[in-house]
Structure 1
Amino acid sequence: MANIKNNTLNKKLFFFSLPMIGSLLTQQLYNVADMIIVGQFIGAEELAAVGNAGTVLLLFIVISGGIELAVEIIFSRYIGKNEQEKLAKGTTALIVFGAVLGIFLAVVGFFLLPVLFDLMNVPKRLLELTNTYCFIYLVGVPFIYVYDISRAMITSLGDAKKSFYLILSSSLLNVLFNLLFILGFHLGIAGAALGTILAQGIIMCVSLLLLYKKSLANPYFRLTVSIDPIQLKEISTIAVPSIFQQFVVTLSSVFLQSFVNRFGNEVIIGFIAVTKVLTISRIVISGFAQTLSIFSAQLFAGKKYSELNQTYRFLTKVSLIYAVLVSLIFFLFSEQLCNFFFDSQQYPDGFHFFNTYLLFSIGTLFLTVFKFMNESILRSALKMRAYLLCNIGDLLIKVSSTYLLLQVVSSNAFWLGEAIGRLLAVGLSIYFLLLIKRTIKQAVIENTLP
């Protein structure tokens, strides 16, 4: 009976993960589509500009990711405890909050762009192109906030498939609009940014409509904004550390991009391309980790520790199998992956950087499996200080190691610094998981005492 129960849980986890992975993959392809289209149909210089612009823009949308993560975890806990009233109140309040915050950050962004470009050492020949893309994209930041929050709510309510369809539709519209504005209307890099925000705006409206229809099933739902201080505190417990963590991630990207910009155009495009390939390669692991966050939040709330252990083991094992398959792809198809972004023959130095970084990142990929899984447990257990320490430690070591190693191993410092930081994060996360396990064992013993 135990084996049947475990197999049923494993099957449930796997199939729940698929639309989650599909959503994350499609979302990432959405972000990469601009770069592929720009690199293939406009030029390498424009690709470098979009890459720099993307790093800057992350600073203004990073808060959205933290709120989205908090919504998924906290709303999942509400569902685990059947707290329907909190679900209803949180829905309208967070949507309005996201819209206001998005508008505020977009306005701030317009004034900060010159300062950020200077901090990143953006080459002068790329400044005008980078500024054009950023300025247009910032107009769509409020769309991103409302869309991300509403989609996270839909996912938490158990409809991961609709969340996937939203991202898929958004990505397809993004590609179509980009091709239309770049190839049809010849708007260049401005067309790439315009196509992106137009796609976001349309899908935001669809997402809100779907969320409204699902919320009607909740007897407490009203189209009024009701702020619950206790609920805000619960959400901020997850959101604030996550936002801070993601902000540090983005800030580290700004510093790394500034280091890369010193090496010239070929290394810039090589770095942009390889980081996108690596990000996409980690999507499946992120999807399994996100599934672990959602399920473990409910299991922690219900004190179902046996199922929690089974969930962690299964999702980690599947992720490791996936990492092996991805490693083979990196070895066999490195040049083909590079050619999605730019011609490896035309830019040999760019390809050399791309290939070296990609192959030496294989070891880091396996470390990433344990980092993502362990941190999912830390978040779901609301051990946000431990989660934050793992992430901040990773990033600080990564940036500082890269900076110090640049003088010794030149451009190889980028992949080596990342590996060192990731190794530290895995070690810390294992330590904190052992502390949680000890606490759970003690609680179980106390509950079984007469």
Structure 2
Amino acid sequence: MIKDLTHGPPSKAIVSFAVPMVIGNLFQQLYNVVDSIVVGRFVGTGALAAVGSSFTLMVFITSILLGLCMGASVVFSQFFGAKNYADLKSTVSTSFIFIGVTSLVLSIISIVFVDNIIVFMNIPSELMQDTKDYLLIIFSGIFFTFLYNWAAGLLRALGNSKTPLYFLIIAALTNVVLDLVFVINFKMGIAGAAVATVIAQLLSAVLCVFYCFKKLDFLRFKLKEITFSRRIFRLTASYSLLTSIQQSVMNFGILLIQGLVNSFGATTMAAFAAAVKIDSFAYMPVQDFGNAFSTYIAQNKGAQKQQRIQEGIKVSVLLITVFCLAISAAVWLFADKLMLIFVHASEAEVIAIGGHYLRVVSAFYCLIGYLFMFYGLYRGLGNVTMSIVLSVISLGTRVLLAYTLAPVLKLDGIWWAIPIGWLLADLVGIIYYKKVQIKIPLGGTV
């Protein structure tokens, strides 16, 4: 179902559009979380550490594609808001070719240089082979990650956030079943978890792409209409490349932090792997809310409804504050119990390290909630450069402080660097908004 976000109460429009995205992304996160739970409980903490470290690397590499898809989605939204279906159709064709080729190149490069990547990540020698086995399989499925996120981005740009959710639920449940079968029944170890993930990604991609080309009547293509428009490419690239840089900067910073954490040994790696999964689940809803907010902003920019954009910002601040305060309290109170999802109670040191991380970071979820809102705001308005600036400030501060404080404060230095980075980026986002809020650039579709 296509949904126009330029009409109706802003709070209802944003929330009803965001909720399926939130649920969908939670199911998407199940891919790696289930991998971690299964290998952590049935293979061992070493395998958990390998999967956790691989996840950080996998997120960094696929973030390049996610950024490209998110940028293209902004252009989809703006053309849809302006009812310019001819250029919307051209953007679909051009972006598919552009990002699809990029994904294939990225997959090949990742596979060829996997050994160099593992060395860069400071993976302990005893975990290198497991990590390599897992990554080679995951890298082979990068194209499927592109397919799903491109098709889902198209549907969400048109206001349909429910259909991608349904396909993700099917894929996530498939992943759970296959994880149990491959790892427990077939004794495939960490490789079995990777195979299950790739099959699930393939399933969600096929379902979502098939739906797009069957159900969106005004986007049905004849063979001769599948073209690569240089004009549209330049326009899409101006959004996609910058958004990809933003996503890459964010996740490269996280990758550097993962390398620092790895230097503390396998026990810390396992604790961090589990805690980060809990962390990601906790604030994932506000991250998806920011992405939904970006679509809302982009459609209303295309429709040139400035007042509606201002109303949406006020609603978003309130919703993010209420949600983050509630989730912060829950994670802070139950940190140790949440760690037990991934490891046995006998792993006391792993639980202690992970629980401490969660208590430090969870107290400041409001800060990252506001930051995701700023990302969505500036990306939707077409000011992707500002989103990149905020990412650089947030992650740059985090990395710099972590590497500076770790020799003195050990793990505490790494953990506290995270909310400090969020705070500084939020302050810059607020100051910049105060300066330009009366000058928000609408004046045209793109």
TM tier, smaller: over 0.9
Equivalent position amino acid for 1:159 in 2: N
Conservation of the 8 A alpha-carbon contact between 1:98 and 1:142: no
Conservation of the 8 A alpha-carbon contact between 1:78 and 1:86: yes
Equivalent position amino acid for 1:392 in 2: V
Equivalent residue, structure 1, for 2:108: 107
For 2:328 and 2:420, the matched residues in 1 are separated by: 19
Identical columns (%): 24
Conservation of the 8 A alpha-carbon contact between 1:95 and 1:150: no
Conservation of the 8 A alpha-carbon contact between 2:336 and 2:351: yes
1:269/1:81 CA distance change after superposition, 3 Å: same
Map 1:1-20; keep pairs closer than 5 Å.
Answer: 8-20=9-21
For 1:254 and 1:103, the matched residues in 2 are separated by: 22
For 2:153 and 2:209, the matched residues in 1 are separated by: 11
Equivalent residue, structure 1, for 2:386: 386
Which secondary structure state, in structure 1, belongs to the residue aligned with residue 9 of structure 2?
Answer: helix
- How big is the shift at 1:442? 12
Equivalent position amino acid for 1:14 in 2: V
Equivalent position amino acid for 2:13 in 1: K
For 1:269 and 1:294, the matched residues in 2 are separated by: 36
Conservation of the 8 A alpha-carbon contact between 2:111 and 2:136: yes
- How big is the shift at 1:440? 4.1
Equivalent residue, structure 2, for 1:217: 218
Map 1:335-346; keep pairs closer than 5 Å.
Answer: 335-343=336-344, 345-346=345-346
Gaps of 5+ in 1: 444-450
For 2:96 and 2:103, the matched residues in 1 are separated by: 11
Equivalent residue, structure 1, for 2:87: 86
1:41/1:385 CA distance change after superposition, 3 Å: same
For 2:133 and 2:401, the matched residues in 1 are separated by: 33
Equivalent residue, structure 2, for 1:447: none
Gaps of 5+ in 2: 1-5
Q: Please, what TM-score do these two structures have when normalized by structure 2? A: 0.93
For 2:61 and 2:324, the matched residues in 1 are separated by: 31
- How big is the shift at 1:270? 1.1
- How big is the shift at 1:92? 2.9
Equivalent residue, structure 2, for 1:395: 395
Equivalent residue, structure 2, for 1:48: 49
2:366 matches 1:354: no
Equivalent residue, structure 2, for 1:170: 171
Conservation of the 8 A alpha-carbon contact between 1:59 and 1:250: yes
2:248 matches 1:242: no
2:266 matches 1:265: yes
Equivalent residue, structure 2, for 1:226: 227
Equivalent residue, structure 1, for 2:127: 126
Q: Please, what TM-score do these two structures have when normalized by structure 1? A: 0.92
- How big is the shift at 1:418? 0.8
- Aligned-residue Cα RMSD (Å) equals 2.0
Give the paired residue count.
437
Map 1:294-313; keep pairs closer than 5 Å.
Answer: 294-313=295-314
Question: Alpha-carbon deviations, 1:321-367, whole Å to 9, x = none?
Answer: 11121122123311221011112x32222222211111111332111
1:194/1:441 CA distance change after superposition, 3 Å: closer
Equivalent position amino acid for 1:102 in 2: S
Conservation of the 8 A alpha-carbon contact between 1:101 and 1:142: no
- How big is the shift at 1:41? 1.7
Conservation of the 8 A alpha-carbon contact between 1:98 and 1:146: no
- How big is the shift at 1:158? 2.2
Equivalent position amino acid for 1:113 in 2: V
Question: Alpha-carbon deviations, 1:219-261, whole Å to 9, x = none?
Answer: 7x43442111221122112211221122222222222112111
Conservation of the 8 A alpha-carbon contact between 2:246 and 2:391: yes
- How big is the shift at 1:7? 8.1
1:9/1:389 CA distance change after superposition, 3 Å: closer
- How big is the shift at 1:29? 2.0
Which secondary structure state, in structure 2, belongs to the residue aligned with residue 340 of structure 1?
Answer: coil
Conservation of the 8 A alpha-carbon contact between 2:94 and 2:232: no
Conservation of the 8 A alpha-carbon contact between 1:266 and 1:347: no
- How big is the shift at 1:30? 2.3
Equivalent residue, structure 2, for 1:448: none
1:218/1:262 CA distance change after superposition, 3 Å: closer
Equivalent position amino acid for 1:164 in 2: L
1:175/1:49 CA distance change after superposition, 3 Å: same
